[in-house]
Amino acid sequence: MIQDVKFDCKHFRGHIPCKPNKEANKICSSCDVYAPISKRILIIKLGAIGDVIRTTPLAHRYRNMYPNCHITWVTHSPDVLPKEGIDEIWKWDATSVFKARHLEFDIALNLDKEPEACILLEKVSATEKYGFIWRDNHLSAATPAAEHKLITGLYDNISQQNTKHYLDEIFEICHLDFQDEPYEIRLNKDLAEKWASLRNLADGKTIVGLNTGCGARWQTRLWPKEKWIELIQQLQNQGYFPLLLGGRDEHETNTFFSNETGAHYPGHFSLEEFIALTSNCDIIVTQVSMMMHIALALNIKMVLQNNIFNPHEFYLYNNGVQIRPSTGCDCYFGQSCSRERRCMHDLASNTIFEEIEKINAQ
CA distance 313 to 300: 19
The answer to whether residues 335 and 308 touch, using CB atoms and an 8 Å cutoff, is: no
Q: Tell me which of 330 and 350 has the higher pLDDT.
A: 350
Q: What is the pLDDT of residue 43?
A: 98
Confidence label for 205 from pLDDT (cuts 50, 70 and 90):
very high
Q: What is the pLDDT of residue 219?
A: 67
Mean of the per-residue pLDDT values of the chain: 92
Tens-place pLDDT, residues 112-130: 999 999 999 999 999 999 9
Show the domains of the chain with their CATH numbers. Answer: 37-173 (3.40.50.720), 189-361 (3.40.50.2000)
Using the predicted structure, report yes or no on whether residue 336 has a pLDDT greater than 80. Answer: no
Q: What is the mean pLDDT of residues 144-149?
A: 96
Which residues face 36 on adjacent strands? 9
Task: Please name which of 272, 266, 300 lies closest in space to residue 285, comparing C-alpha atoms.
Answer: 300
pTM for the whole structure: 0.91
User: What 3-state DSSP class applies to 148?
Assistant: helix
Number of neighbours of residue 293 by Cβ within 10 angstroms: 24
CA distance 18 to 23: 9
